[in-house]
């Protein structure tokens, strides 16, 4: 088992990672009857894309001898209705290190081929920007 999710009432869940015991909560967003006091489930999906991109880039960067520490990703999620769904995810990566053209292309390709990117429905628009030092 990967995780266990428990509904706590008031549109809140607690998700536990079985192996580590780490937990996070989700709340329904304010535009969908919730309090918006935590990530919504769709926020976690959009944020998961950025997290996955950074993770696989980090793996590749280590293989290339590149230090990516301090790299950040800003995420904007856009929702659509009928049915309610994620319609667009924008990810802006800030890479505060210098790299040659080949290394940049390798890392950008690695990000754009991460498992979450491939797992998202093709109708979800994915806009990714890379801002290099």
Q: Say which CATH number the domain at 102 has.
A: 3.30.300.20
109 contact partners, CB below 8 Å, separation of at least 6? none
Q: Both 27 and 45 in a single domain?
A: no
Structure pTM? 0.95
Same domain, 55 and 114: yes
pLDDT single digits (tens) 79-126: 999 999 999 999 999 999 999 999 999 999 999 999 999 999 999 999
Q: In terms of residue numbers, what domain contains 118?
A: 41-132
Quote the pLDDT of residue 128.
Answer: 98
- The predicted pLDDT at position 103 comes to 98
* pLDDT score of 39: 97
4-35 pLDDT tens trace: 999 999 999 999 999 999 999 999 999 999 99
pLDDT confidence band for 36 (50 / 70 / 90): very high
Q: Are 74 and 112 part of one and the same domain? A: yes
Q: Are residues 66 and 123 in the same domain?
A: yes
Average pLDDT for the chain: 97
Q: What is the pLDDT at residue 21?
A: 98
Question: Is the same domain home to 78 and 26?
Answer: no
% of the chain exceeding 70 in pLDDT: 100
Residues 21, 48 within the same domain: no
DSSP string, the chain: --EEEEEEETTEEEEEETTT--EEEEE--GGGTS---S--HHHHHHHHHHHHHHHHHHHHHHHHT---TT-EEEEEEEEETTTTEEEEEEEEEEE-S---HHHHHHHHHHHHT-HHHHHS-TTSEEEEEEEE-
In terms of domains, do 13 and 56 share one?
A: no
- In this structure, the answer to whether residues 10 and 69 fall within a common structural domain is no
Q: What is the pLDDT of residue 12?
A: 97
Does residue 57 sit in the same domain as residue 92? yes
C-beta pairs of 12-18 under 8 Å, 24+ apart in sequence = 12/38, 13/41
Residue 108 and residue 68 in one domain: yes
Counted domains in the chain: 2
Q: Are residues 19 and 49 in the same domain?
A: no
- 46 lies in the same domain as 18: no
């Amino acid at each position: 088992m990967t995780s266990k999710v428990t509904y706590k009432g008031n549109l809140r869940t607690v998700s536990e990672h079985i192996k580590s015991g780490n937990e996070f909560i989700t709340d329904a967003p304010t535009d969908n009857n919730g309090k918006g006091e935590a990530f919504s489930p769709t926020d976690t999906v959009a944020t998961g894309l950025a997290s996955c991109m950074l993770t696989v880039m980090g793996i590749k960067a280590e293989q290339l001898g590149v230090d990516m520490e301090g790299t950040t990703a800003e995420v904007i999620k856009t929702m659509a209705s009928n049915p309610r769904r994620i319609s667009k995810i924008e990810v802006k990566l800030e890479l505060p290190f210098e790299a040659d053209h080949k290394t940049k292309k390798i890392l950008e390709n690695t990000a754009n081929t991460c498992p979450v990117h491939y797992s998202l429905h093709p109708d979800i628009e994915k806009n990714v920007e890379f801002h290099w030092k």
